[in-house]
Structure 1
């Protein structure tokens, strides 16, 4: 309009549309797509996809028209070309395969005879414990960032497109990597809702909204093994521990994050509130939560697992070292418990504290034997003798993280050994 000095009305008349048009340069066979920037973003996206559809479907070349408009190609032909371009656009912006997969994940299916359209008829892992109300149209609109009319059209023609894809034997494997642009977020703090959660892991609220949120917070995908232990350890990345371990032997972090109200509710290591009841988790406001955050900020998901190598030789049946890790003595009697040169225990036991009964009486806790490279006991989480004697580096030293003020290997120097 500025270059040609024409009014908006004349511009719309020239292109035959208020939304946009694709214009072919007959001299070189190239195209320019024009669109109305005053329209909403979702409408502009559809307009551009629609015009690209005309280009890829060869409509201009087939009918020898630089601009496709009713006056140039006739009403019936124009209608068919528009329908084809619309089909191209909706399957580019919102492919039927992915639309069906989104609806299926929310338990939405087509009712028999189509009298009620697509409605939720069953619970799924995504909708379990989800109190928010939603419809097929609202999910499609937000997940694929298209307008409400376009979402209704997508739903209305979904089954027809699926049937056509089946007839044409279209292979959707190459597009399965496409992810939806929206998901369920906490309405208050913006953290991503995990499937099945009734409460937000971050703030404990239970209101969620399905929306696009490119800057939304999300929990890193950290696994849990068959023994319901975090694997790898979310703080230090160690993934080698026994089946009954309650604590990481490298950093002492508990290998589960239970709810403080119901220990059977096990939560993500970053969770501050229980997914099931909203009560605080064990890690909330603890040093473990802080250390996990620091580790996750430094390491990406792909390189987080760590193997903490040890050169200490030991008997795998007894856990007794074959060479004293402090003075390097190798001569021990068959029943030796301590090194005869420096007095170091030959088995790396934990240094347990005291436990107190209901009457205020204190008793020493039991010692537990650990592998020679264990910094903390897997059973009670207390530091080990070898760690106390500074024979093992902290996980923070190995990962290059600053030592925390409340952590480290500072122990009472009066403790034996």
Structure 2
């Protein structure tokens, strides 16, 4: 098969969509090295090649014919080498995804002359394959469906959110319209939306670690804390009592009555629907909360104004930390603490992992 005359940008967009689905990409910046490790592909920095062959970086670049990265196929095994020169800055993520692009687009398999033999490629052929790998990389690392949701589309914000260089962020903006038209023309908009639907709504509270698939803005409905809601995966699924479409619990939370008739249990008087008390009790007050919809069955507080929920006000729900402390105690009991031969506990020499949303996440992002 011959290398096409022009880059197949529609094919690259489709394969990027396939990749996002196959690897279940739902958090950004993408952990590219994990993808390489999970596939058991080789990964070698140029500095290690320099050390092994006692040469300088320019020699490696000249031999591999690539300033940034190089992919090789031996039998069924792929190996990726990349330039780890500190002066290149935060370029590694795009370089590695570019090389994955060569693999995922079958550049080293489909064509008679491949990147494995770069000295046999003409400049035009090489440019076609490089453009395809670049298109694949930008559509995986900074998908159109997410970039368009950013309120602040400045290159520095895109660079920060998706973990790419300022230059790559500028390129993403320059080619935004072109990629959008391609994705729209081949019918990928709905598919891309399905991939990121849960990603848009994924939220956690940094205080009580609750996880949500609803977008709350102001107050955490579990612990009532303000400005603690961030994008990411929480660890706590606080018990939520099932409700009907109208918001009624089918079984009384307090006494277990299964024949509730009205807004309150006729046996123990517990409320059957969860509301914001600020709205429920202060209808004549112009400062009352406007949250008129029933709250989830596990909400202790209103996510709009922070007032207690009706369930929590009537002690139908316990304080959040009771459930949290019980969960943490059970987790602690399951942890096997490593010890030395004389019985002393060993402390792993690990740095705490950074939260996936970073320190300066834009709270206006719809996928926080």
Could you tell me the TM-score, scaled by structure 2's length?
0.52
Match of 2:60 in 1: 11
Query: Deviation at 1:151?
Result: 4.8
Count of aligned positions: 260
Q: Specify the SS of the correspondent of 1:257.
A: coil
Report whether the alignment pairs 1:55 with 2:103.
yes
Deviations 1:230-271 (A, max 9, x none): 4576689x795445142396x975333333433265533333
- More deviation, 32-41/50-59: 32-41
Q: Specify the SS of the correspondent of 2:280.
A: coil
Report whether the alignment pairs 1:24 with 2:73.
yes
Aligned partners of 2:204 and 2:229 also within 8 Å: yes
Aligned partners of 1:139 and 1:210 also within 8 Å: no
Going from structure 1 to structure 2, the CA distance change for 1:196 and 1:181 (only over 3 Å counts) comes to closer
Aligned partners of 1:224 and 1:231 also within 8 Å: yes
Match of 1:79 in 2: 127
Match of 1:312 in 2: none
Deviations 1:312-350 (A, max 9, x none): xxxxxxxxxxxxxxxxxxxxxxxxxxxxxxxxxxxxxxx
Paired residues for 1:99-114 under 5 Å: 99=146, 103=149
Q: Specify the SS of the correspondent of 1:78.
A: helix
Using the alignment, how far apart are the partners of 2:80 and 2:230 within structure 1?
A: 32
Match of 1:176 in 2: 194
Using the alignment, how far apart are the partners of 1:185 and 1:56 within structure 2?
A: 33
Aligned partners of 2:257 and 2:265 also within 8 Å: no
Q: Specify the SS of the correspondent of 1:278.
A: coil
Paired residues for 1:173-252 under 5 Å: 173=191, 176-178=194-196, 179-180=198-199, 183-186=202-205, 191=210, 194-195=214-215, 197-207=217-227, 211=231, 213-215=232-234, 217=236, 224-230=243-249, 240-247=258-265
Paired residues for 1:286-301 under 5 Å: 287-290=315-318
Aligned partners of 2:203 and 2:234 also within 8 Å: no
Aligned partners of 1:22 and 1:67 also within 8 Å: yes
Aligned partners of 1:24 and 1:66 also within 8 Å: no
Using the alignment, how far apart are the partners of 2:89 and 2:71 within structure 1?
A: 18
Report whether the alignment pairs 1:277 with 2:305.
yes
Paired residues for 1:261-340 under 5 Å: 261-263=278-280, 265=291, 266-284=294-312, 287-290=315-318
Using the alignment, how far apart are the partners of 1:279 and 1:75 within structure 2?
A: 66
Decide which structure has greater helix share.
2
Query: Deviation at 1:54?
Result: 1.5
Using the alignment, how far apart are the partners of 2:89 and 2:254 within structure 1?
A: 42
Task: Provide the aligned C-alpha RMSD in A.
Answer: 4.8
Using the alignment, how far apart are the partners of 2:222 and 2:237 within structure 1?
A: 10
Using the alignment, how far apart are the partners of 2:159 and 2:241 within structure 1?
A: 30
Using the alignment, how far apart are the partners of 1:235 and 1:283 within structure 2?
A: 10
Deviations 1:212-238 (A, max 9, x none): x344656677654343324576689x7
- Point out which structure has higher relative CO (alpha carbons under 8 A, 6+ apart): 2
Q: Specify the SS of the correspondent of 2:219.
A: coil
Gap regions ≥5 residues in structure 2: 1-47, 282-290, 328-368
Q: Specify the SS of the correspondent of 2:70.
A: strand
Using the alignment, how far apart are the partners of 1:284 and 1:13 within structure 2?
A: 68
Determine which structure has more spread, i.e. the larger CA radius of gyration. 1
